[in-house]
Each structure stands twice: as C-alpha cells, then as structure tokens.
Amino acid sequence: MTWSLHDAKNRLSQLVREAQEAPQVIAVRGEERAVVLSLEAYRRLTRREETGLRAFLRASPWADVDLELERVADAPREIDLADASDAVNEVATDSGDAGAATDAVDQERDR
C-alpha cells in the first residue's frame, strides 16, 4: 500500500502494523520516497551471505573431516641461483623477451 507522508505521520501505528504483513510505501507529493518494512523483512534483506573460498570450503562434503597433517622434516636441497640469474639477465637484455628469460632459467636448471 502507498501512504502519503501526511497519512503516514497521522496513522503511524496502523502503518507499522500493516508493515508486518507487507512493505508499506510512503510518498511525498505523489513521489514514492520511502518504504517501511517489518524487522524480519529488513533482516532478511540485509543478511550477508558467505561467499568466496570460505563458503566453498564450508560447503564441501569433507568440511568436517579432521586432517592430520605432518610437516616433512627433510632439509631443503641446495641450489645455486647465481648461474640461473646470470642466464636470465643475459637473455632478458639480449631479447627483451620475458618468456625467453624463463626458458633460459629452465634450461640452466636442467643442466
């Protein structure tokens, strides 16, 4: 139902009662300007749905599985990045091609 501002002010109690059943529109000089909603309808509209990775993981069928993760205690392997760095700089300078620089690193690593 649409109420004029004058009627809404004069019959506020009735407006609030009717808002429990359906949203009530208030018009100012014939132009709809506001809506009165029940608290339940307002909360339903403003409730934030969980989205993104957190929601995806919580919706997973494995969300309640208790994982026992162990960290590997092995020492990391030794690598010498000096040669790879030189190869990247040389290729990047010569060609200006980042893809070629990446290929050079891969080639140096595979040696």
d(CA 18, CA 1): 9
What is the C-alpha end-to-end distance of the chain, expressed in Å? Answer: 79
The pLDDT score that the predictor gives to residue 6 is: 96
The pLDDT score that the predictor gives to residue 55 is: 83
Domain-by-domain residue ranges, the chain? 2-46, 81-110
The pLDDT score that the predictor gives to residue 75 is: 83
Task: Describe the strand order of the beta sheet including 2-4 as a list of residue ranges.
Answer: 2-4, 24-28, 31-36
Q: Which CATH architecture has domain 2-46?
A: 3-Layer(aba) Sandwich (3.40)
d(CA 16, CA 21): 9
Residue 90 vs residue 72, higher pLDDT:
72
pLDDT digits (tens, 9 = 90+) for 7-59: 999 999 999 999 999 999 999 999 999 999 999 999 999 887 777 888 888 88
